[in-house]
Every structure is written in C-alpha cells, then in structure tokens.
Structure 1
Amino acid sequence: MDRIGVLPVQALQGMVTRGEILTDAPLAEGQVQPASLDLRLGKTAYRVRASFLAGAGRKIADRLAEFEMHQVDLTGGAVLEKGCVYLVPLLESLALPHDVQAVANAKSSTGRLDLLTRTIIDGGTEFDRIPAGYHGPLYAEICPRSFSVLVRTGMRLNQIRFRRGQSILTDAELRSLHDRSRLVSGEAVISDGLGFSVDLRPEGTDLVGWRAKPHTGVIDLDRIGAYDPAEFWEEIRSRDGKIILDPGAFYILVSREAVHIPPEYAAEMAPYLAMVGEFRVHYAGFFDPGFGHAAAGGSGSRGVLEVRCHEAPFVLEHGQVVGRLIYERMAEVPETLYGAGIASNYQGQGLKLSKHFRAG
C-alpha cells in the first residue's frame, strides 16, 4: 500500500521514470529537491493584460487569445518588466495518478525578489493547486513587483510538491513533535500551525531588514552574488523594536525564532491571521526536510519574511506573531536532506537577501 504523506526525492524520480512527471528537456542537476521539484521556464513568455485562471472545463491555451498582448522569446534571455503580467508555459507537465495531488510555490530566491510567481493549469479555479489525477500542461504566471528581471529558458522560479492523502499535523501532534524534536527556539506558539514572530531587536546591530527601492536597474537571475544591495535596497534600522510599514512597500525581515524541520517532515509557510489585515507575510513558502536540522548542517535556521504592506501605514513591533508553519508528514524520509551536500543556499541563515546580492 502506498504511504500517505509528502513524496520525497526518490519517489519523484520514480514518477519521472513512469511518465507521471513529463519533461520537454532532460532534468537539470539539482532540479529534484528533497521534497519538491523545481519547474523550468519554457521558450516563450506571453505578455497578458491581466492575471487569469482557466476556469472549470477550459484550457489556458484557448483563453490566452483573450488576454495576450505580445510574445517574448526567452531562449536568448529577455527582460520581464516590473508591473507587467506574463504567462510562461513550463518545460514540465503532469500525468498524475488518481491518488496524488500537488501544490506549487515560489522558490525562496524568487520570493525575496518580490517576483510574484504562481502556477496555473488547464481547468484550474485557484492558483498553485493541482488536483489528484491531473493530466496536462503547467504554466507560470509571473509578475515582477519591485524589480525588472532578466530571465531565460530553463530558469527555475517556482517549485511543486506532491502528496498522497492528508498528512497535516494537528496542533496536538505538533506539540508532541516539538516536545520530542524542538521545532523552534523559545516558546512554541501553536494554533493552526506553529506561529513565528518578527525580530526587530537583533543582537549586536540595529539593522532589522531592507525595503525595496522604487527605481532600480534590471536583475539577471543567473548572476549570483553580483549586485550591490545598496543599489536595490534601503536598509531598515530600529533602536526601539518597532518599524512603520509603508503602504505598497516590500520588505525583507527575519523571524525571531530559529526553525527546525526534522527529516520525517516538511512544512509550508502560511499567513497568520487575515484579520491583521494591513500587511501580508509569505510569498515563498516551502521548507524542506532537514531545514535547520543539526545532522544536515543546521542548528535551527531563521525564516526570512517577505512582507508587503497594504492600504494603511502599519506599526510592526518586535515579537509580533506574523506567520505560521504548517507541518506535514513525509511519505518516507528523503534520501537527501536540505543542506546536506546539495548546495542549499539558505541553511543556517539569518536576515539575508536573495543569493543574487553580495553579502555584507
């Protein structure tokens, strides 16, 4: 009997072999992660008038004519401009078994650039959700919010996680797991997941985050450690443990707690409470098995928070709970863990911009 839970790297490789995950090009090195598969951009981006979903019983390709403005060839590299919406067919497609569903999310570096990237499918009625048994293509909807970006065919902006059945931990199960494996430093706030708070009083510095500058150059997503943070970000400092978020602005902050994901589990970041209302935390939300795990090179890792303020200025204070982690069981322990010899970029991290910027 097939096990319930999130499918690990070895199961994903089996899905490729069986043709349940289909690709237009051979898989790239590192594309299969411990509990997810990176998705790659295809050859063409369609500039569209607005974001849209296919809708029940309808295909993206048929609806594209309603919204398409022009096409952009990505094979030699092309700029996706800030404030515009693009639709890109991906190199991967699916022929899922009847009992396997999937959820997609932006990769960490994508979210830290405020690059809104969502997955849509034929017949889809919501973003980033793929029902069990889906057979068909995958598309990335991309909207650069803060910076224009240079992209190419084969780049990986989003990722997909597969699961069989329902494996989310209840609050009681989460408390028991924390007692055994200590999921966060400090007190565990458990209510519909594991709550985490913002750190606005870091030790030894008053630098608490960064705010994206409104008028910047283009970021080439293939250039790692190439850009001066000062050209794209304004430092946010605080001496009293609070900051005021500006409407429409995008911030990189960090959690006060160090997070731990044991090898038998995976997690996803979710907003804490919609009633808070004036800001949103969460653009890139997957936490792989082994994140912050000592045996995988971590000793607890902070969660980097991608925060956008909405209609009104909002005071954010040190220790305020801003998000939660939803834990779920793996179907089996992955053969490789996050950070364990797979060049993971953010193991053991603190406050950190995306990998495209030079450190300190």
Structure 2
Amino acid sequence: MTGVLASQQIEALFASHAISAQAPLVEGQLQPASLDLRLGSTAYRVRASFLAGSGKRVADRLAEFEMHQIDLTPGAVLEKGCVYLVPLQESLSLPADVHAIANAKSSTGRLDLLTRLITDDGTEFDRIAPGYDGPLYAEICPRSFSVLVKPGTRLNQIRFRQDRSVLTDDELRSLHATDTLVTGGEPVIDQGLGFSVDLQPGRDGLVGWRAKPHTGLIDLEKIDHYDPRDFWDPLHTEKGRLILDPDAFYILVSREAVHIPPSYAAEMAPYLAMVGEFRVHYAGFFDPGFGHGPAGGAGARGVLEVRCHEAPFVLEHGQIVGRLVYERMSEVPKRLYGQGISSNYQGQGLKLGKQFIADSKT
C-alpha cells in the first residue's frame, strides 16, 4: 500500500519500535495523519542554523556552533531572534519503504516561530530518508515573539509515507467535481489547488493581524489567555488591498473554504516566486477531515502566515498566494480532524493561535 500513513498505522510503527519515545504518548499527540513531536529537556543556543550533512551526526556538528546549554525542565525562554537546537523525545528506526516529512504545527506557525526538523546525515530540513535510524532534533528560531517552553512542548509534527501518491491535476479536478475541495467558483488547478487571500472586510472590518515589533513573553502552555491587542495590530481596509511591509509578519485568511476528504491529506505549498516577494505559510499540514462537513468543519478556511521580503508589496483581494498539494491516504484514519480529538482550528475563519483570547474586541 502507498500513501500517507493514518493514525492507526503510526501506532503500529510504535508497536514495531520503528518509532521510539522517552515517555508514553499524551492525549492529542497523535493526529489523523501525523504525530506531534515533543521537546526534550535541554536546548542548545547555537550561533547559526546548520544541517548535519551527508555522513555526519548532528551531535558531532553541534560542538562547532554551540554557545551554551539551557535546562528546559523548569521552563525556559527562547528569545526572539536567536537560534536553538533541541533534541526531541522521539526517535526513529524506519522501515526501508517508509520516509517522512515534518512541518511546524498550526499554532507554531501562527506565532511566527520558525521550527524545522533536522536529522543525522541530513542535507535538507524537514525531510527524513527511507529507513532512517537515529535521533530527531528541532531547530527553533522565534521571529516575532519570545516564548516560554518546557520538556514536552509540541512545536512540530511529522507525517509518514510509503512512496508518494500526489494527485495529478486531472485527478484533482475529478475529486473537486465529487467532493468540492474549495468554494468560491471555478478552482485554479496547476500543480495543486490554488487558493487566494481574503481582503474583503467582514462585519467588524477586520481583514488580518500584523505582529507588533516589541511585545511581552508568550507562555505556549497558556490557552485562550493573551489579549491579541498586546501582541498584534488589527488590520482594516476598505479598498480590498494591503501594502505588506518588508520583514513584517501577518496573519490573513484564504478567500476559499477548504475541504480535505477523509481519504486524503494535503500540504500547503508556495505558489510562484514571480507573483510577489513574500512567503505564505510556516505550518502546512492539513489532516483528513479538515473542513469536512460531517466532522464539524463545513466552511473552514485556511489561515495564511505571511512574511514580506525585501520590498513593500501590494496584496490584492482574491490574489492567488499558495496551493494545496493533495495526497492519498494509505488508510482512512479511525478518527478525522475535529472528531473528538484535539483539533483547535476546525471550522475556522480568520483566527490567531490558540494562546490568544478568541473573542477579544478589536
């Protein structure tokens, strides 16, 4: 069988010791098509981001870049603008026909918390080769806010695959005809399913948020706790456009409602570099059942994590900014996204990370 492995297949990888962990799984750690990874007890402040490189171990390379160690046990602050390396509680001994890809969790991306997975013998971030046998590490670089973490904090997640079963454009068109993958008219399908930005103000006039440059600390364990206005500037427009400032970070939302049927998973990917000097997304996994009506997700839209690059850029309502790459599941998960599991963003519209008070007035 080929495709993305479902939660019950990930459990089987644990049973066969293809995945090992220093502590038992906790509630919500296993998602329909991915596994949340947990920080260990030590963080290393490093002077630069790095990859182990072919034939080399991360632990051996660490000595070249380490500045000091931090004990995470009582809770520790990862400071904005610094780079950290943290050994994870999970490790792998994958079968020869299973490979993996990692990505930041949704709440991580919405905090502009750049988190990437690195491995021994690794030449790419977030990519784990078939048959990999070794430890896992998270590289963490807070971009907008300093954060408080501790052992067990879950910042990134991993998805396992047998081969790769990405849908072709023709297969996407057929699936959209039967399952309506996005709303809002004729879909834009070109090496994936295109989605656009919504800059038409709602009843409150709000179209997005921009991270403030100087804020307090965010404790990642505190849910529905912080007033958004202490960390974000609300964005309003009557013209259906925004001018993005270089190196500023924005939370926006897709114009289309997104649907991931139970037999599929999706990953958000950049559109084309030629459409503008900005990046959309840090967290890119969409689990089976996201936006699925029977799972409580009818009308769920994709939240866009946007960072402008070298020059100010005008972003227009309805502009295509990214694409969803759909893949077949190897099996349908026993539970879908939103069905009695820790699913914070089912049925969402424009929404900040779970640490912020959802009904705070703007």
Q: Give distance in 1, aligned partners of 2:17 and 2:353.
A: 34
Is 1:324 equivalent to 2:326 in the alignment? no
> Match of 2:336, as an amino acid?
L
Is 1:250 equivalent to 2:249 in the alignment? yes
Q: Give distance in 2, aligned partners of 1:313 and 1:205.
A: 26
Partner of residue 299, structure 1: 298
Listed as ranges, the matches of 1:3-152 within 5 Å are 3-152=1-150
Render the CA deviation track for 1:10-67: whole Å, top value 9, x for unaligned: 0000000110001011111111110000000000000000000000000000000000
Cα deviation, residue 277, structure 1: 4.0
1:291–1:300 Cα contact (<8 Å) kept: no
Q: Give distance in 2, aligned partners of 1:115 and 1:276.
A: 25
- What's the TM-score, normalizing by structure 2? 0.98
Partner of residue 314, structure 1: 313
> Match of 2:275, as an amino acid?
V
Q: Give distance in 2, aligned partners of 1:295 and 1:19.
A: 34
2:201–2:238 Cα contact (<8 Å) kept: no
2:37–2:90 Cα contact (<8 Å) kept: yes
Listed as ranges, the matches of 1:197-276 within 5 Å are 197-276=196-275
- What's the TM-score, normalizing by structure 1? 0.99
Render the CA deviation track for 1:92-137: whole Å, top value 9, x for unaligned: 0000000000000000000000000000000000000001000000
Partner of residue 190, structure 2: 191
Is 1:158 equivalent to 2:156 in the alignment? yes
Residue aligned with 2:81, SS: coil
Partner of residue 290, structure 1: 289
Query: Which sections of structure 2, spanning at least 5 residues, go unmatched?
Result: none
Q: Give distance in 2, aligned partners of 1:126 and 1:182.
A: 34
Query: Which sections of structure 1, spanning at least 5 residues, go unmatched?
Result: none
> Match of 1:258, as an amino acid?
A
Cα deviation, residue 300, structure 1: 2.9
Is 1:337 equivalent to 2:328 in the alignment? no
Cα deviation, residue 206, structure 1: 2.0
Q: Give distance in 1, aligned partners of 2:318 and 2:276.
A: 18
Q: Give distance in 1, aligned partners of 2:205 and 2:320.
A: 20
Cα deviation, residue 171, structure 1: 0.3
Cα deviation, residue 311, structure 1: 0.4
2:18–2:95 Cα contact (<8 Å) kept: yes
1:184–1:300 Cα contact (<8 Å) kept: no
Count residues with an aligned counterpart. 358
